[in-house]
Structure 1
Amino acid sequence: LLPIFFGALRSVSCAKSKNSSEMPETITSRDAARFPIVASCTLLGLYLFFKIFSQEYINLLLSMYFFVLGILALSHTISPMMNRFFPANFPNKQYQLLFTQGSGESKEEIVNYEFDTKDLVCLALSSVVGVWYLLRKHWIANNLFGLAFSLNGVELLHLNNVSTGCILLGGLFIYDVFWVFGTNVMVTVAKSFEAPIKLVFPQDLLEKGLEADNFAMLGLGDIVIPGIFIALLLRFDISLKKNTHTYFYTSFVAYIFGLGLTIFIMHIFKHAQPALLYLVPACIGFPLLVALAKGEVTEMFSYESSAEILPHTPRLTHFPTVSGSPASLADSMQQKLSCPRRRRQQSPSAM
């Protein structure tokens, strides 16, 4: 719940940012329609990889990859909070990392990162968690990285309108149901994939304490996908200028209801459940009923986030990789998280 709530709040600030390096990626209806296909191909590819190649070596490579991205994601997450702890006289120096190619008029910037001393402190703290995860694979370190990925996903990935959100959630609703109930592919990948792309909840915490080893899982996709829709409704609330967050709170409560129903059904049938089967109808249905009651359905579906709040937001031309219910947000956030104030000289191109 925390990544959705705070990620949605931070998405508003991100949307209003005039700094092009902090602008979010916008998902259009075309992107949303292709998303389940890309996700299915990725999921099946991972499944075949685990069947053909040694699981040990695959997870070793993934651990190193997510070790780096997890540190960057966590650093980006804690940076706003850590600023409150720095004293006013803290010597905050500015730094720049610049790589160029060519010379003269053909000179082109490849990397241009700007950061300060506070960013380095956050990076150092995040590195401690990264080393802990790399050496121990502890569930707390896994969850810290997972929460960071989720929050950044909700903050940095924006739907351009409600129709796009319905297309995305509807497509992934079918995707989730098929791969969980139709085959064992998703469950196999989720259990084999040793990376912070899922939150784990120890079921034997009272017996074994911090050394618990029997876990229930919630994929990051089940957080981020509904989360970006809830964040869109928060921005819609703000656009109405009524000083209320009716649709945001309605969808947030709907998410809690859908997640609770998922857990309840899972315990009743003792079988893995596609969380989006319950989350999607709740997150779309509850706000739609409120809009019908208030007579604001037209306003809801005509609202354009990119036009009203994000006049210069680049179009998303690549997809975060979704491997089953867990979602690898690494690819979509890799450029965003490397530095919170990175300059973009060109329009972006293609988890």
Structure 2
Amino acid sequence: MESLWKLMYLLEPTSLTLIVTAVFVTFASASRALDHGKEMERNLDFSEASITLDRSQALMIPLASSCSLLIMFYLFASVSHLVTAFTAVASTSALFFCLSPYVTLLKTQLCLTDPLVSRCCFKSFTRSQGILLLVCVGTVAGWLVSGHWLLNNLLGICICVAFVSHVRLPNIKICSLLLVCLFVYDIFWVFFSERFFGANVMVSVATQKASNPVHRVAESLSLPGLQLITKKLELPVKLVFPRNLLGGIVPGQDSIDYMMLGLGDMAIPGMLLALVLCFDHRKNKESSQDLISRGHKYVWYALSGYGVGLVAALAAGILSQSPQPALLYLVPSTLGPVVFLSWSRRELKELWEGSESKSNVKAHPMEV
């Protein structure tokens, strides 16, 4: 009975906000990936801006992530400034990528002229893009100075959306391979890393803060006011929400007062959602029937499964009072419904091999 009362923590504002935000970001990442794919089809210049994973790359991601974890675990103090600088550049680029469609839409609706300012890297650079770049740089600078959790979450969300849009999965076969490998990866580094390395590597890396390069500059220039403002940073590789949202608006609280969710726990399921959303979009274009006759879309089953898996992960963490590998719950709850539903609809083979194999099969009779 006491355990059931503990689950009431899931109804707290912080828990509900975390769940709603994660579900929204995962679906938004998949939707942006679909739109980005359409942009690449219309403009061949964008073709190099997207990476489609193959089997070897899918296998390398868990290995590369493990090496990165160990580097951050043992050498974080030495590479902290480098990591912060790289994160700042990546955050600026991701924020620019996420806001560009809205700037274009606003410019079109208001019929604003957008003269060409210059050309950079063989691509045009307009005035609106220059203004947007300044806004993005200012936002990242505000995060560097204040370290506020809201700016941290904003940049983390943009990084997640940009990653899902640029790193794509060709079919469920590669997706399943990647998810299963990361499933094992997450379980090992959360549950078993302490036996080999003397500490929980995943938790240690997730909770450590990076030194602020702005603080170092302020210290070298003897600016005591800026030194007091600039604190160590929570890197935007996770969402953080104060357990007391009203009392947590003021930055600088200890990380133990926050609920956290890694970007990988949104980006990896987001890649699956992007895959099935593109599949739904292609099937709707090919089919002459309406959506009701075809039944529900795969993306809604995957998204519902993501929400269920996230709630299960949070509930397990509350009941066990220990960190939980979120992918332990998210992989079965998202991949399972998609595979079962496609099998029941006799579309598993098509989804398993992807659209490329189908287009190749159709091309053979034309060649003959």
How does the TM-score come out when normalised to structure 1?
Answer: 0.77
Q: How does 1:32-43 map to 2 (within 5 A)?
A: 32-43=58-69
Kept after mapping to 2: 8 A contact 1:67/1:130 = yes
Measured after TM superposition, the shift of residue 306 of structure 1 is 8.6
Deviation at 1:45, TM superposition (A): 1.8
What letter is aligned with 2:345?
K
Number of the residue aligned with 2:82 = 61
Equivalences for residues 117-196 of structure 1 within 5 A: 117-183=127-193, 184-194=200-210, 195-196=235-236
Query: Given that residues 162 and 301 in structure 1 are in contact (C-alpha distance below 8 angstroms), is that contact kept between their aligned partners in structure 2?
Result: yes
Measured in 2, the distance between the counterparts of 1:15 and 1:306 equals 18
Contact kept in structure 2, 1:74 and 1:145, CA below 8 Å: yes
Identity %: 30
After superposition, residues 10-159 of structure 1 pair within 5 angstroms as: 10-16=32-38, 17-18=40-41, 19-23=43-47, 24-50=50-76, 55=77, 58-86=79-107, 88-98=110-120, 111-159=121-169
Q: How far apart in 2 are the matches of 1:156 and 1:231?
A: 11
**Equivalence map 1:122-271=2 (5 Å):** 122-183=132-193, 184-194=200-210, 195-211=235-251, 213=253, 214-241=257-284, 242=287, 244=291, 246-271=297-322
Q: What is the aligned counterpart of 1:8 among 21, 26, 30?
A: 30
Distance 1:182 1:21, change over 3 A: farther
Deviation by residue 1:18-47 (Cα, 9 ceiling, x = unmatched): 323423210112211222112111211221
Normalised TM-score (structure 2): 0.74
Q: Which amino acid aligns with 1:82?
A: V
Matched residue, 1:301: 352
1:300 Cα offset (Å): 1.8
The DSSP-based 3-state class of the residue aligned with 2:246 is helix
Higher relative contact order (CA 8 A, sep 6+): 1
- Change in Cα spacing, 1:61 to 1:37, as seen in structure 2 (3 Å) is closer
Q: Work out whether residues 73 and 148 of structure 1, in 8 Å CA contact, stay in contact via their aligned partners in 2.
A: yes
Q: Secondary structure, in 3 states, of the residue corresponding to 2:188?
A: helix
Distance 1:91 1:150 in 2: 31
Question: SS at 1:289's partner residue?
Answer: helix
| Partner Cα distance (2:283, 2:85) in 1 | 45
Please tell me whether the aligned partners of residues 203 and 212 of structure 1 are also in contact (alpha carbons under 8 angstroms). no
Q: 1:268 to 1:31 in 2, by over 3 A?
A: same
Contact 1:71 1:126 (8 Å CA) reproduced: yes
Amino acid at match of 1:189: V
CA change 1:77–1:257 in 2 (3 A) is: same
Deviations 1:174-198 (A, max 9, x none): 0000000012111111111532111
Deviation string 1:136-183 (CA, Å, 9 cap, x unpaired) is 111111111000001111111110111000000000000000000012
State the AA in 2 paired with 1:304: S
Give, in angstroms, the shift of residue 212 of structure 1.
7.0
Q: Aligned AA for 2:206? A: A
Question: Who is 1:280 aligned against?
Answer: 331
8 Å Cα contact 1:202/1:212 also seen in 2? no
| Aligned partners of 1:3 and 1:154 also within 8 Å | no
- Structure 1: which amino acid aligns with 2:274? A
How many angstroms apart in 2 are the aligned matches of 1:297 and 1:22? 30
Unaligned runs of 5+ in 1: 99-110, 310-351
- Tell me how far 1:305 sits from its aligned partner: 5.5
- 1:329 match: none
Structure showing the higher helix proportion among its residues: 2
Structure having the higher strand fraction is 1
Per-residue deviation at 1:89?
4.2
CA distance in 2, matches of 1:234, 1:116: 32
**253 and 228 in structure 1: CA distance in 2 versus 1, 3 angstrom threshold:** same
Secondary structure at 2:260 match in 1: strand
Q: Which moved more, 1:62-71 or 1:133-142?
A: 62-71
Q: Compute the displacement of 1:308 (Å).
A: 5.5
Aligned 8 A contact 2:146 2:251 in 1: no
Which stretches in structure 2 are left out of the alignment for 5+ residues? Answer: 1-22, 194-199, 211-234, 361-368
Equivalent AA in structure 2 for residue 235 of structure 1: C
Deviation of 1:260 after TM superposition, in Å, equals: 1.1
Structure number with larger C-alpha Rg: 2
Q: 1:122 to 1:207 in 2, by over 3 A?
A: same
